[in-house]
């Protein structure tokens, strides 16, 4: 009956700070390339509807050239209606952000942006005497912890689809209440009469259902960070009719860039750091993004001869890009010198160290209000830094 293509978390125009020059441009293009593959699929298969469940762009201010490319590509799609909500990445988070960049796509025919982040809007489509209600609400950047389904209306049409960018607890358990983005549960959606919850936010493909509805995250369309290196990336296709179940959902894989992490374990017996890394990272693949984690203990005399730049240059020749994370503990059994001072803190550790120092100072001064604000800032800042570094 109604044929639907569902995608989310395209993260078009990301920042890849550890890549430079032409490599960075090519990496940014990877994300646009996934989008192009999805639109090409839609041009060929002519679904009734394409829904995008947030994080279409990676940030609130993407550069102009990917925006132009997006508009031209959307214009190639002439038989499909497009529905978009914003996510936590591309929503507006402050008054100075003004609006989300997806709102500029309203100027295109066939595109609907559910730009309201407080209540649901809907569009009703008709086909063969049946109605499909498409409901959506954008991510609330000013109030990210808000439950997105608390005011979800009941579906009044023959079929119903809801677009939400949020965190469904049954698919991904909640470990930390501090930085939750739009948390909700399947339980809370019972009795609303929707067939399909088109979700975005969680980057791993996953779905769950009860006798009333199917809840599905198609996942991100490119590997966004090394935490996604083992995940296949794609989008989903479904056809809504009277006997729709999760078995009718088809995952369509996309051609994406591969990522791989190498962990190099050190002991005080190892005498050449560069050599140890190069013999562990023993492949060549000019299209592969590589992360090298250095773990364990190294002697100070050995560490002194570690040539990071030489290493980066020789690995760069073999791969598309390389990120080196140094978590080595430096040691020397022959002296009593405290090498802890030589340890290079990760940006997250350094941020936490600095903030904890400020908090201790505030507590001493009895400034309870600022102490609370700083504690919230630690949680938010740590999450933001980790997201940035994982790419
Ligand atoms: Mn996302």
At 34-63, the pLDDT tens digits run 999 999 999 999 999 999 999 999 999 999
> Is the confidence at residue 177, as pLDDT, over 60?
no
Higher pLDDT, 337 or 211: 211
Distance 281 CA to ligand 1 centre (A): 30
Residue 269, CA distances (Å) to 276, 325, 335, 338 in order: 11, 21, 17, 20
**Percent of the chain residues past pLDDT 70, beyond the cut:** 96
- Say whether pLDDT at 229 is over 90: yes
Residue 342 has pLDDT above 70, yes or no: no
Is the model's pLDDT at 94 over the cut of 60?
Answer: yes
Give me ligand 1 centre to Cα 216, in Å: 14
pLDDT at 214: 97
Q: How far is the CA of 306 from the centre of ligand 1 (A)?
A: 37
Q: Which helix (H) or strand (E) holds 383?
A: helix 368-390
CA 33 to ligand 1 center in whole angstroms: 17
Mean pLDDT of 267-293: 95
Check whether 336 has a pLDDT greater than 90. no
State the angle between helix axes of 368-390 and 347-365 in degrees (0 to 180), rounded to the nearest 10: 180
Q: What's the pLDDT at 178?
A: 53
- HSE, side-chain direction, 13 A CA sphere, residue 64: 0
Residue where the block lists tokens 């059994």: 333
Q: Is the pLDDT of residue 142 over 70?
A: yes
What spacing in Å lies between the alpha carbon of 230 and ligand 1's midpoint? 17
Sheet containing strand 214-217, edge to edge, reads 121-127, 130-136, 159-165, 196-200, 214-217, 206-209
> What pLDDT is recorded for position 35?
98
| Pick from 43, 57, 77, 50: nearest CA to 10 | 57
Q: Which residues pair with 136 in a beta bridge?
A: 121, 163
Q: What is the mean pLDDT of residues 263-275?
A: 94
Question: Residue 36, SS3?
Answer: helix
**Comparing 10-14, 92-96, 207-211, which segment has the lowest mean pLDDT?**
92-96
pLDDT at 341 over 70: no
What's the 48 CA to ligand 1 centre distance in angstroms?
A: 25
Antiparallel, parallel or unpaired: β 111-113 and 196-200? unpaired
Residue 270 reports pLDDT greater than 90 = yes
Mean pLDDT of the chain: 92
The alpha-carbon radius of gyration of the chain (Å, integer) is: 24
What pLDDT, on a 0 to 100 scale, did the predictor assign at position 389?
66
For residue 123, the CA-to-ligand 1 centroid distance in Å is 25
Q: Work out the pLDDT band at 89, boundaries 50, 70, 90.
A: very high
Q: Going by CATH, does the domain composed of 2-253 fall within 3.60.21.10?
A: yes
Sorted by where each begins, the domain ranges of the chain are 2-253, 259-344, 348-390
User: How far, in Å, from the CA of 125 to the mean position of ligand 1?
Assistant: 28
The per-residue DSSP string of 117-161 comes to SSS-EEEEEEETTEEEEEEE----TTSTTS-TTTTPPPP-SSEEE
């Amino acid at each position: 009956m109604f044929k639907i293509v569902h995608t989310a978390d395209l993260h078009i125009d990301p920042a890849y700070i550890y890549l430079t020059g032409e490599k960075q441009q090519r990496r940014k293009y990877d994300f646009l390339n996934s989008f192009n593959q999805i639109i090409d699929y839609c041009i060929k298969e002519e679904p009734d509807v394409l829904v995008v469940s947030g994080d279409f762009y990676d940030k609130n201010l993407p550069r102009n050239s990917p925006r132009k490319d997006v508009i031209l590509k959307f214009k190639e799609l002439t038989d499909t209606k497009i529905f978009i909500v914003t996510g936590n990445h591309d929503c507006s988070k402050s008054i100075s952000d003004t609006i989300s960049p997806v709102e500029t796509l309203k100027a295109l025919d066939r595109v609907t942006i559910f730009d309201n982040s407080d209540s649901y809007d809907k569009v009703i489509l008709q086909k063969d005497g049946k109605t499909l209600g498409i409901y959506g609400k954008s991510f609330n950047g000013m109030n990210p912890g808000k439950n997105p389904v608390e005011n979800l209306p009941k579906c009044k049409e023959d079929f119903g689809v809801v677009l939400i960018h949020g965190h469904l607890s049954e698919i991904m358990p909640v470990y930390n209440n501090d930085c939750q983005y739009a948390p909700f549960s399947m339980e809370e959606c019972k009795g609303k009469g929707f067939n399909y919850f088109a979700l975005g936010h969680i980057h791993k493909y996953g779905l769950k259902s009860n006798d009333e509805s199917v809840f599905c995250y198609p996942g991100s369309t490119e590997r966004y960070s090394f935490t996604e290196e083992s995940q296949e990336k794609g989008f989903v296709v479904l056809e809504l009719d009277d006997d729709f179940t999760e078995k009718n959902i088809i995952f369509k894989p996309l051609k994406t860039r591969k990522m791989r992490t190498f962990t190099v374990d050190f002991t005080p017996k190892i005498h050449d750091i560069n050599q140890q890394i190069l013999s562990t990272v023993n492949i060549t693949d000019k299209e592969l993004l590589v992360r090298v984690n250095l773990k364990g203990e190294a002697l100070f005399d050995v560490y002194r001869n570690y040539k990071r730049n030489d290493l980066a240059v020789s690995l760069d020749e073999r791969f598309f890009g390389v990120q080196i994370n140094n978590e080595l503990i430096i040691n020397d059994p022959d002296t009593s010198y405290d090498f802890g001072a030589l340890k290079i803190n990760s940006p997250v550790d350094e941020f936490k160290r600095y903030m904890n120092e400020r908090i201790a100072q505030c507590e001493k001064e009895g400034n309870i209000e600022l102490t609370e604000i700083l504690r919230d800032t630690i949680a938010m800042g740590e999450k933001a830094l980790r997201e940035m570094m994982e790419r």
